Every structure is written in C-alpha cells, then in structure tokens.
Amino acid sequence: MDLKQQIKILVKLQALDSQIYELNAERKKVPEELNLLKQEYKEREEKVKQTEQKLKNRQLEIKKMEGDLKSKEETIKKHNVQLYQVKTNKEYSSLEAEIKNLKADVSLLEEKIIGLLDEVEEINKTFLQQKEDLNKEREKLRQEEELAERRCQEIDEKIKELNKKKEPFVARIEPSLLSQYERILVKKGGKAMSAVKDGACGECRFMLTPQVIEEIKMGEELIFCNSCSRILYETSVETDV
C-alpha cells in the first residue's frame, strides 16, 4: 500500500484516537470533581463539630455557674443563721457586708446564666440546622459518587468500543509508521496528524512553504511540521477515503 493510502488510514485512526484522548481526559476529571465535593463535605462536617463543641462548652459553663450559685446561696443561708450568733457589732456588720457581696454575686451569676441559656438556645438551633444540612449533603455526595462511578463505566465502555473500531485500521498500517504515529500521539497530547489549512499547519499554525505543500500533495514521503513535528496531510484525504 502506498504512503498516501497509509496516511488516509492514519487520519481515520487519528479521529478515533482524538475521541479516546478526550474521554481519557474526562475520565481523569471525574474523581477530581468528586474529591472537591468530598472536601466540601468534610469542611461542613468540621463546622458542625465545632458548633457542637461550642454548645458543650457553653453547657459546661452554665453547669459550673450553677454550682457556684448554689454554693453562694448556701453560704448566704449559713451567714444568715450566724447573724444571730455573733457577739459584737463589728462581727455583725462584717458578716452583713459579706452577705451583701454574696447576694450581688448571686444576682450577677443569675444574669450571666440567663444570658448563656439564651446563647445555648441559639447555638442549638444553628447546630440542628447544620446537622440537617449535613445529612442532605451526605445524601447528595452519595448520589454524586454513584453518578461518577456510572460515568466512569460509561467512559470505559466507550473507550473499549473505540479501541475495537481502531483494530482494522491499525492492522492495515505498517508497524514502523504506526509506532511513529503513536510516539507523536503521546508526545503531542493525542494529536499526531495535522491537516494543512490556508498554507499552514492546522494544529500549530506554522506557515508552510509552497514546496512543502507540494511535497505533501505528492505523498511520496512523510512530511512533518517543522514546528510541532506532527505528520502533515492534505485535507482532501479526509473526504475521499
């Protein structure tokens, strides 16, 4: 088979390989996109944990204040009893002052506790909302994972089909030419063949001399683009195979 015929087949092969390269690129993107979603989910989960921790901390603070409050109230009770047992005026007034201080502490603590209880209620609302959102998000993520898996399977199937379609073309190309084509294919991002367009390489736009264009038309030897090293061909071969 002459070179012209071989190039025609390579052009057919290139069309299939281009599709395979695109599919492979998409195949690679699928897990990347999924990882982004997983990352987002993790961040949300972290936020919920933080809110829960904040809630627990506030509740602990309240418990501690309630303990303080109780012990201060007990002290006040004790002091009230002691008031009847003191012997001197001085002792009496110092005890009275202490009771007054304790009472001030108690009302301050009560105020703080009320404030914290309000805060706890707010945080709890946020926490419940975040938890609900997180559950929805988890369900969404699960669906996305299923979709991604299905998409990968679809892509694998298509690639398999395309590889099958390649077989008759591959069988008709001379092994040395085929390996040359495949080397360029790998090096040049899935594009080894370049059609001449408006007197230039169709892939890299490098201007070709009239002599080179003539050589391509003659098809007696392989002509490579001087700039991108792809195999150049005449667009007419795309239609007349």
55 lies in the site for Zn ion, by CB under 5 A: no
228 lies in the site for Zn ion, by CB under 5 A: yes
Q: Which of 79-87, 89-97, 155-163, 226-234 is the region at the interface with Zn ion (rule: CB under 5 A)? A: 226-234
Identify whether the C-beta of residue 230 lies closer than 8 Å to the C-beta of residue 206. no
What is the closest distance, in whole angstroms, from the C-beta atom of residue 21 to Zn ion in the complex? 17
204 lies in the site for Zn ion, by CB under 5 A: yes
225 lies in the site for Zn ion, by CB under 5 A: yes
Identify whether the C-beta of residue 45 lies closer than 8 Å to the C-beta of residue 202. no
Please select the residue that binds Zn ion; options are 7, 11, 120, 201, rule is CB under 5 A: 201
206 lies in the site for Zn ion, by CB under 5 A: yes
Query: Which amino acid, one-letter code, is at 231?
Result: I
Alpha-carbon gap, residue 216 to 225, rounded angstroms: 11
In Å, how far from its chain's centre is CA 73? 56
Identify whether the C-beta of residue 5 lies closer than 8 Å to the C-beta of residue 176. no
Strands 193-197 and 231-233: parallel
What is the closest distance, in whole angstroms, from the C-beta atom of residue 224 to Zn ion in the complex? 8
Q: Which of 17-25, 65-73, 161-169, 199-207 is the region at the interface with Zn ion (rule: CB under 5 A)? A: 199-207
Query: Which amino acid, one-letter code, is at 40?
Result: E
227 lies in the site for Zn ion, by CB under 5 A: yes
Name the residue with tokens 């007034």.
93
Total residues binding Zn ion (CB under 5 A): 7
Q: Which of 73-81, 153-161, 180-188, 217-225 is the region at the interface with Zn ion (rule: CB under 5 A)? A: 217-225
Alpha-carbon gap, residue 20 to 26, rounded angstroms: 10
Q: Which of 35-43, 70-78, 99-107, 198-206 is the region at the interface with Zn ion (rule: CB under 5 A)? A: 198-206
Q: For residue 193, which phi and psi values (nearest 5 degrees)? A: -105, 140
Alpha-carbon gap, residue 86 to 201, rounded angstroms: 110
How many Cβ atoms sit within 10 Å of the Cβ of residue 130?
A: 19
The binding track of 147-186 with respect to Zn ion, each residue x by CB under 5 A or -, is ----------------------------------------
Identify the CA nearest to 1 among candidates 174, 181, 182: 174
Q: Which of 66-74, 81-89, 216-224, 228-236 is the region at the interface with Zn ion (rule: CB under 5 A)? A: 228-236
What is the closest distance, in whole angstroms, from the C-beta atom of residue 199 to Zn ion in the complex? 12
Residues engaged in binding Zn ion (CB under 5 A): 201, 203-204, 206, 225, 227-228
